Amino acid sequence: MKSQVSMDEFRKNLSEIVARVMYGDQTYLVKKHSRSGVVVISEREYENLRDPRKRFDSKSDWNKFFKFTDKIRSAMSVKDQLRLEKIINREIKAIRSKKAIKD
């Protein structure tokens, strides 16, 4: 569940919001001047976003996911497969360049 709070509400209720995120599996969108700004998520959810393998309970589930994506890909035209591959490669290159800058 995603809740929205203003920056003032966030400051006033920080302890309660943190508890809800940690123990209630909630997500908060913190707005500043009515504009979206920050999302507060649990550490577990953050780790799942950083490492997709952690989203799966087992290696078997991980492998099932890739079998499923392969099935979807095989239903696509060759032209669409090539276009998808190009997009994926571009995104991988962008992520790797960002990582290289940080290192």
* Residues forming a β-bridge with 29: 4, 39
For residue 59, the model assigns a pLDDT of 85
**Whole-angstrom Cα distance, residue 30 to residue 100?**
30
To which CATH superfamily is domain 2-46 assigned? YefM-like domain (3.40.1620.10)
Task: Give the per-residue SS3 of 67-94.
Answer: HHHHHHHHCCCHHHHHHHHHHHHHHHHH
Q: Note if the pTM is more than 0.85.
A: no
| pLDDT for res 52 | 77
Which tens digit of pLDDT belongs to each residue from 39-84?
A: 999 998 898 888 877 888 888 888 898 899 999 989 999 999 999 9
